[in-house]
Structure 1
Amino acid sequence: MPGRIVRGAGGDAVPLHVLVEGSGPVCVLSAGLAMAWFDWDAVAARLTAAGRTVVRFDRPGHGLSGPARTPASAAGEARRIAGLLDVLGLAGPVTVAGHSIAGFHAEAFARLYPGRTAALVLVDSSVEEDPHALWPAALRAAAARGLGRALTAAGLPAALGPPARRATVRASRTGGADPAPRDLVRRCYRTGRVWRGALLENAGYPDTAAEVLALRRTHPLAAPATVLVGHDGGGGRGTQRWLDRQAALADRLGARFDVAAPAGHLVMLDRPEQVARAIRTAADTRTPAARIPGP
């Protein structure tokens, strides 16, 4: 076990795998859908070398944590982060960083626990201006559970899990192959637990997005924020649209806007030094609306 298992964080009985390293001001790193603690390895190494305590954890159904029982919610994952910090005895304000869908969770934590938040960093975060779903939440969750059970029974995670993980990582970055240790990839992605966890979390995506929009109306963001977006250097309409949406998100949050290039969606793999720098300096931002021009 690279880290350790803790229980009781978040108000449920799901055992969480958490890794705590370094010393100094605390940074909490939460990875995107179906990703794991080791996807932050390069960023964590730079942060600990710079005098930071780094907390990495796997959400239920991810990495080496226990299975997910329900779709994640923004408030529920914010509560999980707060509970995890309590269990670890880390009381001081923390910089919380979320990648992709975990950007929703990180922002919810910053809004619901302003006294515990030193800064917020969103790394190529999910962004939804008008989230909606065709099916009710309960039906989507039931479909995700059923599909997860069927895939596991068919043996697909054991057969296709690691190669599917590596193919997805390669397609989501500009810097080459998946750097994760092969033994850890096999250990995590050959299990139906991780497939079911990803399906269940994805099923709740529109509800989580809507929840964050509601929190923006009722819970002001008190901490300085940074929106860091990956840019692969392409000039296509889709690429520009993504940059524009991320810039608009920074405007809505009054956040610093930074572009990491060249980088795909997995910015922490392609540009770990830039991600670490954004996390190190986020709490020192005095004019959060300042802009850093990108390419």
Structure 2
Amino acid sequence: MILRIGGLPLHVLREGAGPVCLLSSGLGGCWFDWDPVVPLLLPHRTVVRFDRPGYGLSAPAAGPPSLAGEADRIGRVLTALGLPGPCTVVGHSLAAFHVEAFARLHPGRTAGLVLLDGSVEEDPRPRPGPGPRDLAARALAATLTAAAVPYLTGPAARRLVVRLVSVRGRDEVPAELVRRCYRPGRVLRALLRENTAYLDTAAELARLRARLPLPDVPVTVLAAGRADGSGWLDRQRALAARLDGEFRAAVPAGHLLMLDRPAEVAAAILAGRSG
């Protein structure tokens, strides 16, 4: 369904019944990235998915992305669906910032927090000139869109990313759906804007951590096991310790845990309190 959230048409899915969990995708992701996980949750949970502005079937945003804005969007989506009660919020990659912020800003609405291979910045420092940087990202997206770059290469880029960051090595989403979601220039615009604002978002979360505690709810960090010796699991383990949460590793798995290890993702979500 398309819901108008804060004046912006957003693509939102609500499925199942019972305690609520909300799934939020990482940079460049769409609602269908969760398809392998959702059937495992539906016997036990009401599952909410949505596309952030510009992604999937959602309209693009006018203003630049921000941590407070994304946390507020999660709350507005749940309110629009008539789900004001406690919710387990689940964020993949960049969206881990968003759901943690939601938990800190809305403790009474949070039943649990699950971070899937979440972004980690130990000492983030915002870059200068956020306005001009956002303007440059929008201008670049407009130039590339005018040259039909997203239309010509967007679906192929999606397929390549899945092959590179998933041990599965293949994208099982129907080709027509991939074309529908990755050919429009709004997707490239959203991706460039979120990437440009990444360190600003991380710094915003660091300030929020210093000001507001997490609610007393289960926290789980599920990390993708890598064989590249990068120390990623150590950083994820440190994140779990910082949040006083449980650390789990899915091995082997690529960054797209939802595709590689859907059963482990579902288990992490279902392990917490039910709200």
TM-score normalised to structure 1 length: 0.90
Tell me how many residue pairs correspond in the alignment: 274
Aligned AA (2:58): S
- Extract unaligned runs of 5+ from structure 2: none
Residues 50-94 of structure 1 deviation map (CA, whole Å, 9 limit, x = unaligned): x21100000001110001222321111111111111110012100
Paired with 2:229 and 2:252, the residues of 1 have a C-alpha distance of: 17
The DSSP-based 3-state class of the residue aligned with 2:181 is helix
The DSSP-based 3-state class of the residue aligned with 2:27 is coil
Paired with 2:273 and 2:61, the residues of 1 have a C-alpha distance of: 32
Residues 181 and 237 (structure 1), Cα distance of their counterparts in 2 relative to 1, 3 Å cut: same
Tell me the residue number matched to 2:28. 34
Larger displacement relative to structure 2 (265-274 or 176-185):
176-185
2:16 pairs with 1:22? yes
The DSSP-based 3-state class of the residue aligned with 1:164 is helix
Instruction: Tell me by how many angstroms 1:187 deviates.
Output: 0.2
What are the within-5 Å matches in structure 2 for residues 145-184 of structure 1?
A: 145-184=138-177
2:75 pairs with 1:78? no
Paired with 1:242 and 1:68, the residues of 2 have a C-alpha distance of: 32
Tell me the residue number matched to 1:136. 129
Aligned AA (1:253): L
Tell me the residue number matched to 1:277. 267
2:232 pairs with 1:242? yes
The DSSP-based 3-state class of the residue aligned with 1:54 is strand
Paired with 1:270 and 1:70, the residues of 2 have a C-alpha distance of: 34
Tell me the residue number matched to 1:123. 116
Task: Return structure 1 stretches of 4+ with deviation > 4 angstroms.
Answer: none
Instruction: Tell me by how many angstroms 1:277 deviates.
Output: 0.5
Paired with 1:129 and 1:103, the residues of 2 have a C-alpha distance of: 14
Identify the match of residue 2 of structure 2 among 1, 5, 12. Answer: 5
TM-score normalised to structure 2 length: 0.97
| Percent of aligned pairs with the same amino acid | 57
Instruction: Tell me by how many angstroms 1:133 deviates.
Output: 4.6
- Extract unaligned runs of 5+ from structure 1: 285-295
The DSSP-based 3-state class of the residue aligned with 1:244 is helix
